[in-house]
Amino acid sequence: MKLEESAKGTELQCVTEDSKQSAAVVSQQDDVSSATPDLDHHEDWRIILYYCYMDLDVENAAVDQHVEFQRDICQQHELLGRIRVSPEGINGVLSGRWVACQAYEEQLRAELTRLISVDTELDVKYCKLRTDLPVSTQVFDSLMVKATNSVVSLFEPGMLHHDNDNDNKSSTKKKYSKQSNRRKRRQQQRKDLMDQDKLQLDNHLRQLANQVPNFPGALHLSPQEWDRKLQQARGGDAILLDCRNVYESNVGYFQVTSTTSAHNKSSSSQDSITNTLLTNTRKYSDLPKILLQSKDQWAHKKQIFMYCTGGVRCEMASKFVQAVVATNNSNEQQQQQRPPNDDVQVYQLHGGIQKYLEHHYYNNQPEQQNSSNDDNNNKSEGFYRGLNFVFDPRRTDPMVIPQKYNNTGDDDATSTMCVGKCCRCGIPHDDYDNGHAPVENKEARCCKCRILLLVCNACRDHVQCWGEPEKEGVSKLFCGIDDHCGDYQATGQNPVSIVGGAS
């Protein structure tokens, strides 16, 4: 499996490998160089993150024309990064000077309005640079604009366009002679059963994938609405679904605690807490399979809260969730196992974690904290814990929500909650790069599957990571236990985990 979560700029807002799906028109990395960044003025620079779903006329070559439009205005404003253009919309992440990003957005909105004759729901986020790294290490060094089949690729290639003749093919069984031992036959029997289970799962996924376009998707909630509904939710009837990959949720996720849940203040039951289901995928196209395998943990809930980095992944994933819930209701109604869950509400955090952090970050500024208006006095401290992993050269966004620690003895003490842990010793740690800039390629990765791993500074000298020269007497770093790779595609294990609401 090829993982592409590095900060060199191979992903957009999701990790996906869809080169087989990409249309023929793919721009090469443009020979565009940005002006030398001023290392002393981080505020002059921004990362612009955006997406928009709309219908582009493929027959009239609107996709190809928009690819050229994007390349032209990016060169005009000296913006670098990655943009996907598909018949269903666009998705991009760029870096450049703040004023240039604003001019780019203005031209883009005008062009999109011209294309579809109505105002578009262009979701744009402006992200600050980290102040602990030089500007030059946090901006893209090339521009890639490519035409693809989708804004994001939720399903593996071939899932939507499958040769039905393959459905009836059973797994090939090896024939052993009489001299073959029983152990080999048992091994083959187990493999045959696994192949049959995989075929059944693929068929089910294919049926659901074809139903996805029939569903409207989740109701978008602003950060304020998101907090309010989470505060009011009953844990037994609600759940949070993290639609990101494991190396993202390892450094940050949403968590509703007993001290932040309004309902739990009147109840001591742990069932009153809304749990978070971390899907722990390794790439976005694994999400449907993982959600389907874990549907017993979420599909019966009355309220399903979904989130990702910027919102784009939830657009399609929420439709898949609605398809699973509908199918599950139909099956249970036929089997009369339980009353149908007809009133389920699926919510999506509008603008994703990035927009949510912006809201709470600016609300926690001194001038906002001193405000006397009722909305400010009653505002939530926020439910996001830790850092926001991003797919640009910064690796993580600098905006965080200060968290109060009730066990410090100081009611005024605040700190950024570190949810990450060293994979070797377990101490709090959330820096994949151990103090280096991501562009230096000093991050810790599994020696087999290359997935990002958190290794604290003390442990880093005692392991050999992927890409590092062999060290005598030093063991190689793997993502599993007992010096093995923990890739669920190889082990067959369901990787999901639950984050509870303990305060």
CATH says 42-147 is which class?
alpha beta
Burial category of 251 from C-beta neighbours within 10 Å (exposed 0-12, middle 13-18, buried 19 and up): buried
Calculate what percentage of the chain has a pLDDT beyond 90. Answer: 57
Confidence class for position 17, pLDDT limits 50, 70, 90 = very low
Distances (CA, A) of 110 to 52, 99, 103, 107, 228: 13, 17, 11, 5, 35
- Whether residue 410 is predicted with pLDDT greater than 80 in this model: the reply is no
Confidence class for position 200, pLDDT limits 50, 70, 90 = confident
**Whole-number pLDDT of residue 490:** 66
Q: What does the domain layout of the chain look like in residue ranges?
A: 42-147, 219-386
Confidence class for position 328, pLDDT limits 50, 70, 90 = confident
- Whether residue 497 is predicted with pLDDT greater than 80 in this model: the reply is yes
Confidence class for position 163, pLDDT limits 50, 70, 90 = very low
Contacts of 22 (CB under 8 A, 6+ apart): 146, 147, 148, 149
- Whether residue 284 is predicted with pLDDT greater than 60 in this model: the reply is yes
For the chain, the maximum distance between any two Cα atoms, rounded to a whole number of angstroms, is 86
- Whether residue 159 is predicted with pLDDT greater than 90 in this model: the reply is no
More reliable by pLDDT, 472 or 109: 109
- 475 pairs with which residues across the strands? 463
CATH number among 3.40.250.10, 1.20.1540.10, 3.40.50.300, 3.30.230.70, domain 219-386: 3.40.250.10
**Whole-number pLDDT of residue 472:** 86
* pTM, to two decimals: 0.82
More reliable by pLDDT, 40 or 255: 255
**Whole-number pLDDT of residue 303:** 97
- Whether residue 253 is predicted with pLDDT greater than 80 in this model: the reply is yes
Quick one: average pLDDT of 423-429?
A: 95
- Please provide the average confidence, as pLDDT, over all residues in the chain: 80
Q: What is the DSSP letter of 263?
A: G
**Whole-number pLDDT of residue 84:** 97
Each residue of 442-476: b (16+ CB within 10 Å) or e?
Answer: bbbbbbbbbbbbbbbeebbeebebbeeeeeeeeee
More reliable by pLDDT, 10 or 444: 444
